[in-house]
Amino acid sequence: MKKILITGGAGFIGSHVVREFVNKYPEYHIVNLDALTYAGNLENLKDIENKPNYTFVKADITDAAHILAVFQEHQPDGVIHLAAESHVDRSITNPTAFVMTNVIGTVNLLNAAKEIWKDNFEGKRFHHVSTDEVYGTLGESGLFREDTAYDPHSPYSASKASSDHFVRAYHDTYGLPIVLTNCSNNYGPNHFPEKLIPLCIHNILNNKSLPIYGDGKFTRDWLFVIDHAKAIDLVFHNGKNGDSYNVGGFNEWQNIDLVKELCKQVDEKLGRPQGTAAALITFVKDRPGHDLRYAIDATKINQELGYQPSVTFEQGLSVTIDWFLNNQEWLDNVTSGDYQKYYEGQYVGNS
Ligand code: NAD
Ligand code: DAU
């Protein structure tokens, strides 16, 4: 049986990747390694937690000795690495945490894989899940391609760029079999409400203001999370050893237009007069070093691996809003406790 170790599998994207693999590949055994930080939540995996081909291991990737012990015990043939500190605003407040998890944690995983595979890399693969933010910012035109030069601006993107370089360095130096994916902004069920879309849905439901940074004209390229999971599956199995693949939806939105569209759909679903949610929109102080525009050229993954997103943005957003409306207990659970402190630090008095 093939053993795949997925890191960060209790987080937003990781939980969808774990579900995709557990359900689609009953012949594999999936080990989900996660430290269960504020962003990790086993509630995200309730539907698959008792499947015979699934195991959860609580471990912190910054703990090299523990990580090596987990690898020695479980002997994975493949690693799909998603564990990370993932929120740009938190990286501005506490950059060191991002170096620890995203850089040191990634190197610890590379060392553990190299050690247990004993330099016999036949049938092995380390898949590093990364972001389009490593490329920096675009102006009004152009797209990020796989050969676009790295130019990260936030502590988050600097830490992810560094981790990408380490993954390639282990390939070039030791021959470790690797693939990378650099994806644009994800949205969907289980998205933690610190990020723009779930934060706005949560605030609409609680009649709180919708904070738009700066003039709201910053642009992101949005992809439904399950389509990201499907891209990871394709690249993990069929991507070329040593290569990177950009993943995106050719779906650019300025933040202000996206939030207005979200408000319109929520009002419709709640049967309220149009304009009710949009009245909560408030422009607030900009994010320092805010990248103007991200947009992915996904031609390579499309042409080489036949990748196509499975849903339109309209469908994906509708499914996402429905999920949050039907899972308010999940939202209440993740926004109790520390979330309140984070929210006050980030938003109260920020206008
Ligand atoms: P998330 O913050 O929702 O989840 C991160 C997960 O990693 C959590 O389960 C958390 O408990 C775990 N984790 C954090 N630190 C850990 C540590 N030290 N040891 C073990 N586990 C730890 O993140 P996400 O949005 O699901 O992103 C997952 C990955 O995808 C990240 O690597 C991120 O950089 C990348 N990515 C995210 C997006 C996006 O739009 N969210 C887009 C492209 C790439
Ligand atoms: O591009 C991929 C990246 O997308 C991932 O690598 C990151 O892990 C993920 O967090 C995401 O980063 P962003 O910074 O683009 O996502 P966020 O949801 O934080 O912000 C989206 C846009 O909305 C961005 O231009 C900032 C703006 N924004 C965000 C928040 C939280 C606001 O205007 N108001 C807000 O309150």
For residue 350, the model assigns a pLDDT of 74
Q: Is 132 in the pocket of ligand 2 (CB under 6 A)?
A: yes
**Three-state DSSP state, 224:** strand
pTM for this structure?
0.98
Ramachandran sector of residue 268 (left: φ over 0; alpha: ψ -120 to 50; beta: rest):
alpha
Ligand number with the minimum distance to the CA of 108: 1
pLDDT of 119 > 80? The answer is no
Q: Does any ligand 2 atom lie closer than 6 A to the CB of residue 137?
A: no
Give the residue numbers marked as catalytic: 132-133, 156
CATH topology of domain 2-190+222-250+291-312: Rossmann fold (3.40.50)
What tokens does 276 get? 């009710």
For residue 99, report the distance from its CA to the centre of ligand 1, in Å.
14
Residue 3 alpha carbon to ligand 2 centre in Å: 33
Averaged pLDDT, 183-210 = 98
Residue 332 neighbours by CB distance under 10 Å? 12
Q: Provide the CA 211 distance to its chain's centre, in angstroms.
A: 22
Ligand 1 mean position to 119 CA, how many Å?
28
pLDDT at residue number 349: 81
At residue 193's C-alpha, the angle toward residues 349 and 201, to 5°, is 90
Tens-place pLDDT, residues 9-28? 999 999 999 999 999 999 99
Overall average pLDDT of the 108-124 stretch: 95
DSSP 282-326: EEEPPPTT---B--B--HHHHHHH----SS-HHHHHHHHHHHHHH
Give residue limits of the domains in the chain. 2-190+222-250+291-312
- Check pocket membership of 130 for ligand 2, CB cut-off 6 A: no
Chain segment 246-277, per-residue pLDDT in tens: 999 899 999 999 999 999 999 999 999 999 99
> Of 187, 213, 253, 282, which is best to mutate to test ligand 2, by the most ligand atoms within 8 angstroms of its C-beta?
213
The neighbour count for residue 38, using CB atoms within 10 Å, is 15
